[in-house]
Amino acid sequence: MRINKIALSLLLGGLIVNSSVLANHKSSTSDEQIGKAVDRTIDRYPELDDDVNFKVEDGCVTLTGKVDNSAEKQQAARLISNIAGVREIENRLEIESR
């Protein structure tokens, strides 16, 4: 009986350790994954799609390019801030003067 309890404890302990390792692994989002998500997000908004460029480094997304107005500049940053793994946004978008 005691051997069964020890074996069960080891088994459960291993499952707990393994699940926490998996949880930590899944929670870290790579720059490549963030970049793909940023690209998909920008593609959904025609007003941003052609003129907004980005770079991802260590979870920091740098936005560059030109937009028509401050609302579009704010919209781009707001959309990107909702992406998993994004730690910081450097919004270097310029407002195009007409």
> How confident is the model over 64-68, as a mean pLDDT?
95
pLDDT on residue 18: 41
What lies within 8 Å, CB to CB, of 96 at 6+ separation is: 51, 66, 67, 68
As a CATH number, domain 29-95 is 3.30.1340.30
Model confidence pLDDT, tens digit, residues 36-56: 999 999 999 998 988 999 999
Would the pLDDT of 20 be above 50? Answer: no
Query: Could you tell me the two tokens for 4?
Result: 């069964």
**What is the pTM (predicted TM-score) of this model?**
0.70
Across the range 65-86, mean pLDDT stands at 96
Domain ranges of the chain: 29-95
Exposed e or buried b per residue across 5-40, where buried means at least 16 C-beta atoms within 10 angstroms of its C-beta? eeeeeeeeeeeeeeeeeeeeeeeebeeeebbebbee
